């Protein structure tokens, strides 16, 4: 079992228990809101998280929970929109 799979299982258990948050990189991140899609899709957004222990915000930087959320859930496969859609 990979560490990423373990984090997904823990996330699922937390959601079933009624707790908000996402375990990522050994830290518990709370969903704080969203921001516009960083790759340019007009009707999409990216989650913004805050680390419950340190108060640090994640705005989707690679390696963080927001970026991982996009990789797991992006309906566009993390591909930017065609030029004619911009």
The rounded distance, in Å, linking the Cα atoms of 61 and 83 is 24
* Position 65 confidence tier, pLDDT thresholds 50, 70, 90: very high
For 18, 31, 80, 84, the CA distances from 74, given in Å and listed in that order, are 24, 17, 11, 20
Taking 90 as the threshold, does the pLDDT of residue 4 lie above it?
no
Taking 60 as the threshold, does the pLDDT of residue 61 lie above it?
yes
- How is the chain split into domains, by residue range? 3-85
* Position 15 confidence tier, pLDDT thresholds 50, 70, 90: low
Q: Could you read off the pLDDT of 20-46 as tens digits, one per residue?
A: 678 888 888 888 999 999 999 999 999
Q: Is 63:25 a contact under the CB 8 Å cutoff?
A: yes
pTM of the model: 0.72
């Amino acid at each position: 079992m990979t560490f990423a799979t373990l984090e997904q299982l823990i996330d699922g258990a937390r959601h079933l228990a009624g707790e908000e948050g996402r375990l990522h990189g050994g830290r518990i991140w709370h969903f704080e809101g969203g921001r516009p899609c960083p790759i340019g899709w007009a009707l999409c957004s990216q989650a913004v998280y805050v680390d419950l222990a340190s108060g640090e915000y994640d705005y989707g930087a690679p390696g963080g929970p927001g970026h991982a959320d996009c990789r797991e859930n992006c309906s566009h496969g993390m591909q930017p929109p065609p030029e004619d859609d911009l």
